[in-house]
Amino acid sequence: MTANWFECKVKYVKISEEGKEKKVSEQYLVDALTFTETEARITAELTAMSQEEFSVIGLKRSSISEWVKSNNEKDDKLFKARIAIVDADHLTGKEKRTFQHFLVAGATLECALENLKENLAAYIVPYEILSLSDTTFVDVLPYEVKEETTSGGADTTADEVTNVAGEVIVETGNFL
């Protein structure tokens, strides 16, 4: 399934260590199907993480097509990469370039570049890394599918699905 990334900007009042209040804006990348789902997911996530009041001040579709994760715990920054996929038109023989944006985790620019190259090594078509720059994203909220559970007899299954309001819906079907 292809990810649908949305950029979500949130504003809230943060209390510093000195006890001073400061307005802060943070940007999140959320994988969702619609703007409504994006807002519901970011609201649920931030409500669970913080007691502070916040407001969602901006939502837009992102040009990012892929998120490159890292297994290294030190890779806590997020960088945006612009990639050109180089292909030849079979009819005319002319070179054709398609551009994609990746979000890459890394502790430094060099680590992010290494993570990106490692991810792109699986590509069969030639590519060029055009740019790699720092972003203001605080976190990424990928779409997570709940696992299928079984209940009842051997011929009954139940799928748990969470709707946008965060309520769990259980659908049951009998299969013979």
Q: Is the pLDDT of residue 143 over 90?
A: no
Burial (0-12, 13-18, 19+ Cβ within 10 Å), 85: middle
Tokens of 25: 């804006």
Tokens of 170: 């259980």
Among 33-37, 163-167, 172-176, the least confident range: 172-176
Length of the chain: 176
Q: Is the pLDDT of residue 92 over 60?
A: yes
Q: Confirm whether 1-62 and 64-136 share one CATH topology.
A: yes
In this predicted structure, what is the pLDDT of residue 153? 45
In this predicted structure, what is the pLDDT of residue 9? 94
In this predicted structure, what is the pLDDT of residue 87? 85
Q: Is the pLDDT of residue 146 over 70?
A: no
Q: Is the pLDDT of residue 70 over 50?
A: yes
What percent of the chain is predicted at pLDDT more than 70?
80
- Residue ranges covered by each domain of the chain: 1-62, 64-136, 147-176
Please give the C-alpha separations between residue 84 and each of 28, 121, 128, 145, in angstroms, as whole numbers.
25, 14, 5, 31
Pairing, β 156-162 against β 127-134: unpaired
Pick the CATH number of 1-62 from 3.10.20.10, 3.40.50.2030, 2.40.50.140, 3.40.109.10: 3.10.20.10
Cα 71 off chain centre by: 16
pLDDT bin (cut points 50, 70, 90) of residue 34 is: very high
Query: CA-CA distance, 105 to 74, in Å (whole number)?
Result: 9
The CATH class of 64-136 is alpha beta
Q: Is the dihedral of CA 20, 25, 26, 32 positive or negative?
A: positive
Span 42-62, pLDDT tens digits: 998 888 887 778 889 999 999
pTM: 0.72
What percent of the chain is predicted at pLDDT more than 90?
35
Q: Is the pLDDT of residue 8 over 80?
A: yes
